[in-house]
Amino acid sequence: MSQRSATAKPVLSVQNLQTSFYTDKEVIRAVDGVSFDIYRGETVGIVGESGSGKSVTARSIMGLVKSPGRIEGGRIEFEGDDLTEKSEKQWRKIRGNGISMVFQDPLTSLNPVYTVGNQIKEALRLHQNLRGKKATGEAVELLEAVGIPDARRRLREYPHEFSGGMRQRAVIAMALACDPEVLICDEPTTALDVTIQAQILELLDELKEERDLGIMFITHDMGVIAEVADRVNVMYAGEMVESAPVEELFQNPRHPYTQGLLKSIPGRAGPGERLSTIEGDVPTPNEEPTYCRFAPRCPKEFEDCNAVHPEPVSVTADANDHTAACLLYPEDVSTAEAVETHKRGDSK
Ligand code: SF4
């Protein structure tokens, strides 16, 4: 578990990010006012069901949102610079040298007609201006760093000659070729079987420590989040609904959505109990949030939930590191007082 100093500054700070997609019929507010920080040496988990806005958040940070989508508001500060003010060219440079991304399916990142070595060396040429023997030496070191044995020989192999786990290791090596400060991993282990998944999670943890990386780890799997994250942000319908250090979140989940997600982890139900599920689907966030988007699925819903938009608030007056966007919080005041706080919008 990472310990950050009180004076540390985040390497990446996302503030009130808004990314929308425009179709003929509607505007989909895929990311709607999301804020979070990532520090060096820390893994921040972003968890939620499909359609919650996790991947669009990642693509927004990478500057990879394509038409009909666009970033409409907020700031993405990387080492103090606001990326949303950068030109496409400047952003591309930062994307290459400061922030790298590992996708779910390694085959989408690897070109089948080039050897793994050629692809890593190309990344080293582009981002570190290394060529020839220097590039080969560095490529060998990178493959060794991600745990690929007999690295010099394997550089000459093609992606199809690697197993699924080895391919994902090679993609991580390519991402490291840019010598990034921040690594964004979008469901990087979903396509792998559980033993290989555990190995990749362990590898990411080692790389975080050794290279002092800030890692943003996206998944729908709470079990994976428990393994990998120092801090967890829970997303629902484009919004961040709960945020806390990982142990606190698992021991004291406050938002009814997080409570539902945790109850639905296989193995958590008692003997003879049915596995719990959250009925219904994530709604498409296609209108201003003037109410709680989780209300139609929430077992604790009450009248105000359909008329007041919950803002992220500290769950208790003295909890400065645990927030929930739910009208039931802060829990040390009456619900009526809590609702008033959310109405005024002065709760952040
Ligand atoms: S605001 Fe209401 S509907 Fe939304 S999560 Fe809280 S209790 Fe449930």
- 325: closest CA among 231, 260, 257? 257
Q: Could you give the 3-state DSSP secondary structure of residue 129?
A: coil
Which residues contact ligand 1 via a Cβ below 6 A? Answer: 255-256, 292, 294-295, 298, 300-301, 305, 310, 326-328
- 259, 279, 302, 303, best to mutate for ligand 1 pocket (most atoms within 8 Å of CB): 302
- Which H helix or E strand runs over 213? none
Each as own residue / partner, the long-range contacts of residues 295-299 (CB below 8 Å, 24 or more positions apart, any chain) are 297/257, 297/260, 298/256, 298/257, 299/256, 299/260
Residue 346, pLDDT > 60, answer no
Distance 243 CA to ligand 1 centre (A): 16
CB burial of residue 205 (10 Å; 0-12, 13-18, 19+): middle
Instruction: Give me ligand 1 centre to Cα 54, in Å.
Output: 21
Which atom of ligand 1 is the closest one to the Cα of 300? 7
SS3 235: strand
User: What is the 27 CA–ligand 1 centroid distance (Å)?
Assistant: 24
How many angstroms does the Cα of residue 300 sit away from the middle of ligand 1? 6
Rounded to an integer, what distance in angstroms lies between the CA atom of residue 209 and that of residue 295? Answer: 40
User: Measuring CA to CA, which residue among 255, 213, 210, 212 is closest to residue 232?
Assistant: 255
Statement: residue 96 has pLDDT above 80: no
Q: Which of 88-97, 111-120, 315-324 has the highest mean pLDDT?
A: 111-120
Whether 237 has a pLDDT exceeding 90, the answer reads yes
Query: Which residue is closest in CA terms to ligand 1's atom 6?
Result: 326
Residue range 120-178, pLDDT digits in tens: 999 999 888 899 999 999 999 999 999 899 999 999 999 999 998 899 999 999 999 88
Say what the pLDDT of residue 54 is. Answer: 94
Residue found by looking up tokens 């989780």 in the block: 294
Measured in angstroms, how far is the CA atom of residue 164 from the centroid of ligand 1? 41
Report pLDDT for 97: 78
Q: What is the 3-state secondary structure (H, E, C) of 73-102?
A: EEEEEECCEEHHHCCHHHHHHHHHHCEEEE
